[in-house]
Copies of this chain bind each other. A is one copy, B any other.
Amino acid sequence: MTRYLNLAEYISSRIEQGLYGPGERLPSVRALSLEHGVSLTTVQQAYRVLESSGLAIPKPKSGYFVPAGRRLPELPKMGRPSLRPVDISQWDLVQDLMRQEQNANAIQLGCGMPDTTAPTLKPLLTALARISRRSDSPSLQYNHLQGVLTLREQIARLGVDSGCRLTPAEIVVTSGCQEALSIAIRALCEPGDIVAIASPCFHGIIQLLKAAGLKALEIPTDPVTGISLEAMEMALEQWPIKAIQLTPNCNNPLGYIMPDDRKRAMIRLAQRYDVPIIEDDIYGDLAFRYPRPRTLKSFDDDGRVLLCSSFSKTLAPGLRIGWIAPGRYLPQVLHMKYVGSGTTATQPQLAVAEFIAKGHYLPHLRRMRKQYQRHRDLMTEWVSRYLPEGTRVSKPQGGFTLWVELPDEFDTYTLNRLLEAEDIQIANGNIFSAAGKYRNCLRLNFAGVPNRKIEQAINKIGLAVAQLLPA
């Protein structure tokens, strides 16, 4: 990353920590230049970045200041889902979202696509091409049902960063994280069973429960600390819950990272009620803080966590390379993998293994983490600027999705219709609830490089919201 962006990040984190309060003067260009050993131009560039994110305002001849009126938008309220297991709806709305993703002219703010244009991904494409041309043509042949060994070795190695000790023999490579989740659910549950999920929750999981004939029990979730352990305990006491599905790190859609003590407590709770946990860690490597947060799996001492992840958000979704470390459920998971799709494609596995082994993965992650954090700040600024007063916004700790909450009575379904005509795609909040709650919420993707068009799109969203708000 360039120097001025590093510096901008340094200053913005100081502001967020409260070192410089609203209205206060920020360090002078000269002082920062001396302190950090960079040129005056670099500092000026850094300040221009902060200016465009609304974090600093220039005053002629006096330097840069923290905006006086600056306050972060409020966080979304704690979810209030139905407290009973429910049958699942909303598939038509998910299809609607996917249909809109096919509109090449639309500004895609509703999808879960990462930015795949970073130059740090180049070695991956080179590896894909080279493997295609290898004279022994491994791309063409079946491989081990659990996946290519070199890839499982790399996944096990990366697991250390999240506090996990895994061996390649405990890992099964899958077609993306979705197959991992699907296998986990099918390995554990039978039609009619109840699965506890966070509320809101990724729609791919909710629809999976629907397809498997299961009922969802939505657990209230705090936008900063994650699922309510108290509500979870009550639910475990009251209902025959067959499995718990959680996304504790860089949650989609809320962006929280569950604190370690709460993760530990969650594991104890699952042990007490003897329930397995399906953990989705797909965004975990994209936490803005370093080292990355631990997984629930890292606190699991009796093999009850089925850890699911993939390279779809960190590298590229088109590869369809995910994996599952299912603990004590490995035999059932292997059977489900065999009958569900057989082995996973060989070539992308070899390419990802090579990419990690050659040391390209961590530098790429570093770049993307910083990029997404910058984008989050800018997107939050735009949403605060263009959406009506009272709009609540999540503060994601990783990943690239923002959760926006409008007044209770607001209906994003109508908003979506208005925006579709403007070629702007958003994700309606109610697809993130089994029972169709969160009609007043929407999820915005901030992976793509922020530009004038995206700012204009947020402006248009603001205007449309204002138009639909009751007077």
Residues of A whose CB lies within 8 Å of any CB of B are 91, 94-95, 98, 101-102, 111, 113, 116-117, 121, 124-126, 128-130, 132-133, 137-145, 174-176, 178-179, 182, 186, 190-191, 204, 207-208, 210-213, 315-320, 334-336, 338-348
Contact, CB under 8 Å: A341 / B319: no
* Among candidates B117, B124, B140, B339, residue contacting A182 with C-beta atoms closer than 8 Å: B339
* Among candidates B116, B143, B341, residue contacting A137 with C-beta atoms closer than 8 Å: B116
- Separation of A125 and B348 alpha carbons in the complex (Å): 14
Q: Smallest CB–CB gap between A88 and chain B, Å? A: 11
Task: A140-B318, A204-B339 given; name 5 further pairs at CB < 8 Å.
Answer: A125-B133, A191-B191, A204-B338, A207-B338, A320-B343
Contact, CB under 8 Å: B132 / A339: no
- Separation of A137 and B319 alpha carbons in the complex (Å): 11
- Separation of A137 and B207 alpha carbons in the complex (Å): 29
Tell me which residues across on chain B come within 8 A of A191, comparing CB atoms.
Answer: 190-191
Tell me which residues across on chain B come within 8 A of A124, comparing CB atoms.
Answer: 140
Contact, CB under 8 Å: A339 / B98: no
Closest to A351 in B: B132
What is the count of identical protomers in the complex?
Answer: 2
Knowing A133-B129, A182-B340, A186-B211 are in contact, say whether A116-B144 is a contact too (CB < 8 A).
no
Q: Smallest CB–CB gap between A167 and chain B, Å? A: 17
Tell me which residues across on chain B come within 8 A of A334, comparing CB atoms.
Answer: 95
By DSSP majority rule, is chain A's interface helix, strand, loop, or mixed?
helix
Tell me which residues across on chain B come within 8 A of A345, comparing CB atoms.
Answer: 175, 318-320, 345, 348
- Separation of A171 and B80 alpha carbons in the complex (Å): 40
| Residue in A95, A174, A318 whose Cβ sees the most chain B Cβ within 10 Å | A318
Contact, CB under 8 Å: B128 / A139: yes
Knowing A129-B133, A132-B132, A179-B341 are in contact, say whether A335-B140 is a contact too (CB < 8 A).
no
* Among candidates B125, B144, B179, residue contacting A102 with C-beta atoms closer than 8 Å: B144
Contact, CB under 8 Å: A132 / B125: yes
Tell me which residues across on chain B come within 8 A of A102, comparing CB atoms.
Answer: 144
Q: Smallest CB–CB gap between A151 and chain B, Å? A: 14
Closest to A91 in B: B335
Tell me which residues across on chain B come within 8 A of A111, comparing CB atoms.
Answer: 142
Q: Smallest CB–CB gap between A191 and chain B, Å? A: 6
Tell me which residues across on chain B come within 8 A of A141, comparing CB atoms.
Answer: 113, 116, 316-318
Closest to A208 in B: B339
- Separation of A294 and B386 alpha carbons in the complex (Å): 61
Closest to A145 in B: B98
Contact, CB under 8 Å: A137 / B125: yes
Closest to A181 in B: B339
- Separation of A338 and B345 alpha carbons in the complex (Å): 18
Q: Smallest CB–CB gap between A345 and chain B, Å? A: 4
Q: Smallest CB–CB gap between A330 and chain B, Å? A: 12
Closest to A125 in B: B132
Q: Smallest CB–CB gap between A249 and chain B, Å? A: 20
Contact, CB under 8 Å: B128 / A116: no
Tell me which residues across on chain B come within 8 A of A212, comparing CB atoms.
Answer: 339
Tell me which residues across on chain B come within 8 A of A207, comparing CB atoms.
Answer: 335, 338-339
Tell me which residues across on chain B come within 8 A of A335, comparing CB atoms.
Answer: 91, 207, 210-211
Contact, CB under 8 Å: B121 / A175: no
- Separation of A211 and B340 alpha carbons in the complex (Å): 9
- Separation of A212 and B336 alpha carbons in the complex (Å): 9
* Among candidates B211, B318, B342, residue contacting A139 with C-beta atoms closer than 8 Å: B318
* Among candidates B132, B315, B340, residue contacting A179 with C-beta atoms closer than 8 Å: B340
Closest to A129 in B: B132
